[in-house]
């Protein structure tokens, strides 16, 4: 199967069955989303959604978070992964927002990445969800599913390489949605250790399934 056809099959399925995918992080404004995404690194969205209501009640805007100490922020996020570092990042991020951006969330990758705790992936999530920009945030799910489906070549060994491989074939208007499609498929179907090939609607063009079904590795 040609690469272009593989991508078209992927797009055809999800545009038909899941036309309006959304992030599973709960947020009410761009500031809350930025906080939630920073916290979500190496942590589940479910856990983040459990702790953010109290966090947002105490720090409803960047100004209040910037005025807090990392120690106080820590008390609200102690159950997430790496809470000490993330507490420092949150206060630093809020401080930078107030000092350099007037409390507003920047709208470029370059500006977002100047904020503590914000890398390329987080910046792309913000641009995609908040500003509907055609940016592809590559997390562990996107990385894994892209390789298994054959959307990204095995030579694409870094998130940036996978991002470029996906952006080369996915039309711009679908890029923000494709980010969610890949994440949700990886979270619930194409899971890391034992992918659920038996319920996967994409297996007829999946390279992983094609290779492993014959040996019994794929779950069929």
Q: Is 200 assigned to a binding site?
A: yes
The one catalytic residue among 71, 121, 177, 211: 121
Is there a binding annotation on residue 190? yes
Whether 204 is catalytic is no
43 is in an annotated binding site: no
207 is catalytic: no
Long-range contacts at 173-177 (CB < 8 A, ≥ 24 apart): 173/134, 174/11, 174/15, 175/128, 175/134, 175/135, 175/136, 176/128, 176/129, 176/132, 176/133, 176/134, 176/135, 177/14, 177/15, 177/19, 177/20, 177/21
Quick one: CA dihedral 149, 153, 158, 163, positive or negative?
Answer: negative
Which residue in 3, 12, 45, 139 is the catalytic one? 139
Question: Which amino acids are annotated as binding site for [4Fe-4S] cluster, given as ranges?
Answer: 190, 197, 200, 206
Catalytic residues: 121, 139
Q: Residues within the annotated binding site?
A: 190, 197, 200, 206
């Amino acid at each position: 199967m040609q690469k272009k056809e593989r991508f078209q099959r992927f797009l055809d399925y999800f545009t038909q069955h899941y036309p309006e995918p959304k992030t599973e992080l709960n947020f009410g404004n761009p500031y809350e989303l930025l906080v939630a995404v920073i916290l979500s690194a190496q942590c589940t969205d479910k856990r983040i959604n459990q702790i953010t209501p109290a966090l947002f009640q105490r720090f409803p805007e960047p100004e209040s978070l910037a005025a807090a100490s990392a120690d106080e922020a820590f008390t609200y996020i102690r159950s997430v992964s790496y809470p000490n570092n993330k507490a420092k990042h949150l206060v630093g991020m809020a401080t930078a927002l107030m000092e350099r951006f007037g409390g507003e969330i920047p709208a470029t990758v370059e500006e977002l990445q100047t904020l503590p705790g914000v890398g390329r992936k987080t910046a792309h999530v913000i641009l995609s969800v908040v500003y509907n920009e055609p940016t592809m945030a590559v997390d562990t799910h996107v990385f894994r599913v892209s390789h298994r489906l054959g959307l990204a070549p095995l030579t694409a060994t870094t998130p940036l390489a996978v991002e470029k491989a996906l952006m080369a074939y996915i039309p711009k208007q679908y890029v923000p949605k494709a980010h969610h499609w890949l994440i949700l498929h990886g979270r619930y179907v194409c899971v890391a250790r034992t992918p659920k090939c038996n319920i996967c609607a994409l297996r007829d063009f999946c390279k992983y399934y094609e290779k492993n079904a014959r040996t019994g590795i794929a779950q069929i």
